[in-house]
Amino acid sequence: MKKVILILLLGGLISWQTAFPQEQINIDVKEKVLSNGMQILVVENHVAPVFSTIVRFKVGAVDEHTGITGISHLLEHMLFKGTKIFGTRDFAVEKPLMRQMDVLADSLEQEKAKLRNPLAGGSEDRVKALRQQIADIQAEQAKYIIKDELWETYLKNGGDGLNASTGTNGTQYYVSLPSNRLELWTFMEADRLANLQLREFYSERDVVREERRQRTETTPRGAVQEAMSAAAHWASPYRWNVIGWGSDLDNMSRSDVEKHFRTYYSPSNAIACIVGDVKPEEVFALCEKYFGAIPVSPLPPPVLTDDAPQKGERRVEVEFDASPIAAVGWHMPQAGHPDMAPLDVLSDILSRGRTSRFYKNIVEKKLGRASAGISFSRYPDLFTMNITPMGNHTIDEVLAAAFAEIERLKTELVAQWEIDKVRNQADADFIRSLNSNGGIAWRLADMQATVGNWHYIIDYRDEIKRVTAEDIMRVTQKYLTKGNRTVVTLVKPEPDAVGGAPADAGQ
């Protein structure tokens, strides 16, 4: 006799029907594609009079190229600077000031280019003078700027959690509001797309440049991760971090960012997910009214550049005055590939929880700490491992112990209890991720953007349940090989040959 349990989560939002031997989860998602190609996903949840939203654009660091690395993240910052309506006391006065700065910025970049060539006659004094002129105009423009008016407007209308993030594969903007502010949200977010103004650009560019310095250039883990991306990816645009190269940020112009915005922030490249106390037909009508009026821009072709198969282990040392750490990366396939689920289960068997392989054989033996994880990316990326020695143990000792565990998995089938544990953890994670409007919106938008189908959040759960011990052995043998891996270690710099002081490794 089959036992059926029905659990209603979030007031009927999700039905979880567990029947032995098969479990099914269904999410009632209503979908619509607007006249300009923008995708709208809606899930009703009437438990509380609020809704959460995510607008996801399919553009991230992987869509950049040398010269403009970091531009997607910088553009994300600029979307909070206002429009022709928000953030200004007098846009008619602001507009010519921004044009003046653009002209000066072009002259500045030309002068900086001359300085790179000793025979071109560039002038440091000219560079300083141009920077000062830009700063003077920025100060004049500041008189007409209303700081944070976008957020203040949302806050006055009960908004919460206004924020954004940029990754290698996408950029997303989110906020939660009372359900009677649905039209306000559609109006304001459509206005950001239709009438964005890149005000305060040069000062905000400096903010992002400082962010790079603090998070990447002066932190051990940031330096190692940047080296890993660059060393493992010789061709793929995953070879730079989301923050971009420092020199690209230094030289990026407002016109560069505006071009990136016009190229990738087309409605046809956007997904809006709304979850909460809303009616789908009302959402669709308002989205068509406001978003649907925004014209479409032709999208560039997808990135087709892949890394060639790696032909041997790559080893990189990063000098940094800090305790040693290491990172290892193996090339792995993109999200949606059949091997993704076995690699995901493998990473948890290696390092999740106190019964994991790494915990039992590295942490409990007080060698150090080791973690493993997959990349859920649009294009082929990396299976990664991070290493931190403990006490007097060395990086080489911990790496040897971690590699030994991986080699075991190539010749010995994992126990069924290990697979069951990971499945149970994955189920718990899945249910927890759907315990809020924002969590559901995030998962739906992410899957729709990454693999082209929101339903993959359910399909992937089923794939996890089908993973066998043989699958885990197979993917370990296929991907986690010496010839397919890159190892980056952080080492303390050698004493200076002259003064005996450590070399400057902070940049």
What pLDDT shows up at residue 214?
94
**Residue of 447, 463, 309 whose CA lies nearest to 29:** 447
pTM over 0.95: no
Q: Of the candidates 334, 122, 320, 371, which has an alpha carbon nearest to the alpha carbon of residue 236?
A: 334
All domains of the chain, ordered by start, with CATH? 33-88+145-293 (3.30.830.10), 314-491 (3.30.830.10)
Strands 171-178 and 314-319: unpaired
CA distance 135 to 142: 10
In whole angstroms, give the CA distance from residue 88 to residue 146.
5
The Cα angle at residue 352 between residues 350 and 354, in degrees rounded to 5: 100
Rounded to 5°, the CA angle 125-129-135 comes to 145
pLDDT at 496: 67
- Tell which residue, 174, 180, 154, 186, has the closest CA to residue 52: 174
φ/ψ (deg, to 5) at 453: -155, 110
DSSP state of 415: P
Tokens encoding 220: 């051990």
Helical ranges in 352-433 per DSSP H: 357-358, 395-411, 416-433
Q: Are 198 and 95 in contact (CB under 8 A)?
A: no
Rg (CA), the chain: 25
- Phi first, then psi, for residue 25 (nearest 5°) are -125, 130
Q: What is the pLDDT of residue 26?
A: 76
What are the CA-CA distances from residue 431 to residues 14, 367, 501 (Å)? 10, 35, 54
pLDDT of residue 44: 96
Instruction: Give pLDDT, residue 24.
Output: 60
CB atoms within 10 A of CB 363: 16
Strand, coil or helix: 9? strand
Q: What is the pLDDT along the chain (507 residues), one digit of tens a residue?
A: 222 222 333 444 444 333 333 456 778 999 999 999 999 999 999 999 999 999 999 999 999 999 999 999 999 999 999 999 999 999 999 999 999 999 999 999 898 888 888 888 888 999 999 999 999 999 999 999 999 999 999 999 999 999 999 999 999 999 999 999 999 999 999 999 999 999 999 999 999 999 999 999 999 999 999 999 999 999 999 999 999 999 999 999 999 999 999 999 999 999 999 999 999 999 999 999 999 999 998 988 888 888 999 999 999 999 999 999 999 999 999 999 999 999 999 999 999 999 999 999 999 999 999 999 999 999 999 999 999 999 999 999 999 999 999 999 999 999 999 999 999 999 999 888 888 999 999 999 999 999 999 999 999 999 999 999 999 999 999 999 999 999 999 999 987 644 444 444 333
pLDDT of residue 18: 35
Report how far residue 131's alpha carbon sits from residue 365's, in angstroms, rounded to the nearest whole number. 57
Helices 91-116 & 254-264, crossing angle to 10 degrees? 110
d(CA 8, CA 21): 20
Q: Is the peptide bond before 302 cis (omega within 30 degrees of 0)?
A: no
**Kind of pairing between the strands at 381-389 and 326-332:** antiparallel
